[in-house]
Amino acid sequence: MNEIQNPHIIKVKKLFARYDKKIILENIDFEINAGEIFMIIGGSGCGKTTLLNHMIGLLSPSSGNVFIEGEDLFGVSEEKQLSILRKFGVLFQNGALFASINVLANIGLPLKELTKLPEEAILPIVQIKLKMVGLDNVLTLLPAELSGGMRKRVAVARAMALDPKIIFLDEPTSGLDPVSAGEMDTLIDNLSKILGITFVIISHDLISIKKIAKRAIFLHQGQIVAEGNPKEFNKHHNLIVKNFFNREQEEEEEEEEQEEVEL
Ligand SMILES: Nc1ncnc2c1ncn2[C@@H]1O[C@H](COP(=O)(O)OP(=O)(O)OP(=O)(O)O)[C@@H](O)[C@H]1O
Ligand SMILES: [Mg+2]
Give me ligand 2 centre to Cα 93, in Å: 6
What pLDDT sits at residue 247?
A: 81
Q: What's the CA gap between 59 and 184, in Å, rounded?
A: 28
Beta bridge partners of 169: 91, 201
pTM above 0.85, yes or no: yes
Ligand 1 atom nearest the C-alpha of 53 is: 18
How far is 151 from 155, CA to CA, in rounded Å? 6
* 3-class secondary-structure state, position 223: strand
Q: Which of 26, 46, 168 to mutate to test the pocket of ligand 1 (most atoms within 8 A of CB)?
A: 46
Closest atom, ligand 1, to C-alpha of 50 = 18
- For CA atoms 196, 200, 202, 205, the dihedral sign is positive
DSSP codes of every residue in 36-63: -EEEEEESTTSSHHHHHHHHTTSS--SE
Query: Is residue 104 exposed (0-12), middle (13-18) or buried (19+ Cβ within 10 Å)?
Result: middle
Ligand nearest to the CA of 44: 1
Domain boundaries, the chain: 1-87+166-177+199-255
Looking at residue 199, what is its pLDDT? 97
pLDDT at residue number 1: 46
How far are the Cα atoms of 22, 75, 114, 144, 184 from residue 176, in angstroms, in the given order? 33, 39, 31, 16, 9
Q: What is the mean pLDDT of each run of 10 residues along the chain (263 residues)?
A: 64 96 96 96 95 96 96 94 92 87 96 90 95 93 93 93 95 90 93 94 93 96 96 94 82 62 62
* pLDDT score at 209: 95
For residue 259, the model assigns a pLDDT of 64
> Out of 3.40.50.300, 3.30.70.60, 3.40.50.10490, 1.10.10.60, which CATH number does the structure's domain 1-87+166-177+199-255 have?
3.40.50.300
Which strands make up the sheet holding 22-32, listed edge to edge?
22-32, 10-19, 63-68, 71-72
In 3D space, the residue among 213, 244, 217 whose CA is nearest the CA of residue 55 turns out to be 217
Distance from the alpha carbon of residue 112 to the mean position of ligand 1, in angstroms: 31
pLDDT at 63: 96
Q: Is 46 in the pocket of ligand 1 (CB under 6 A)?
A: yes
Provide the pLDDT for residue 203.
Answer: 94
